[in-house]
Amino acid sequence: MAKLAVFLLLLAGSLHAQSSGDELSVSVRQGELRSAPGFLSSIDARLEYGDAVRVISRVNDWLRVTVDHTGEEGWIHTSSVARPRDMNLTGPGARTTQTTTREIALAGRGFNQQVEQEYQEQMQLDFSVVDRVEENLLALPELADFLSEIGAELLEGGL
């Protein structure tokens, strides 16, 4: 039961929804700043790993941001950014105090649709099961409600 409680706490912490004014950093090798919230929107700029952005607003999984060093505004997907403290590869508890640029770039690479397709073709993998699971994912508010209910039951000793 203790493991379940720890898991739920970690999961709840990962549900932190970025909001207006939050300072984030690009967490993939190259983030795409788009003209509108959608993968088919034109790319206005490419951001590098670690570039700082400030959230203006949010629409589903898309954030309207301002790029700190250029002042550009545009849309970036939430999977391409993280809080700077979550990207610390050399802080307390890290296994090493020296991280190469190459290691950071490799760690920051996103697993986007193009990378998935190339990997699937090269490794001859079938992601159909993953696709079916993704179709059944809950929206964040529903997931938060579920975790709240489970947390309440855990506190009451119901699980």
**Residue 126, pLDDT score:** 76
Torsion angle in degrees (nearest 10) through CA of 70, 73, 75, 81: 40
Distance, first Cα to last Cα, the chain = 7
Rounded to the nearest integer, the mean pLDDT of the chain is 74
Record the pTM.
Answer: 0.48
Q: Please name which of 56, 51, 50, 52 lies closest in space to residue 73, comparing C-alpha atoms.
A: 56
Rounded distance, CA 146 to CA 140, Å? 10
Q: What is the mean pLDDT of residues 42-60?
A: 93
Would you say residue 155 has pLDDT above 90?
no
Q: Report all structural domains of the chain as residue ranges with CATH numbers, in order of start.
A: 2-156 (2.30.30.40)
Percent of the chain at pLDDT > 70 equals 65
Percent of all residues in the chain with a pLDDT value above 90, rounded to a whole number: 30
Residue 103: is its pLDDT beyond 80? no
User: 119: helix, coil or strand?
Assistant: helix
